Amino acid sequence: MANIKSAIKRVKTSNAAGEKNIAQKNQMRTAVKAAQAAKAEGADNAEELVNVAFKHIDKAAKKNLVHKNKASRMKSQLSK
Residues 38, 52: contact at Cβ < 8 Å?
Answer: no
Picking from 35, 18, 44, 47, the residue whose alpha carbon sits closest to that of residue 74 is 35
d(CA 11, CA 31): 30
**What local confidence, expressed as pLDDT, does residue 20 receive?**
97
**What local confidence, expressed as pLDDT, does residue 80 receive?**
85
Residues 78, 55: contact at Cβ < 8 Å?
Answer: no
pLDDT along the chain (80 residues), means of 10: 91 97 98 96 94 98 97 95
In this prediction the pTM is: 0.87
HSE, CB side, 13 Å, CA atoms: give it for residue 34. 17
Which residues, 6 or more positions from 21, have their beta carbon under 8 angstroms from its beta carbon? 63, 65
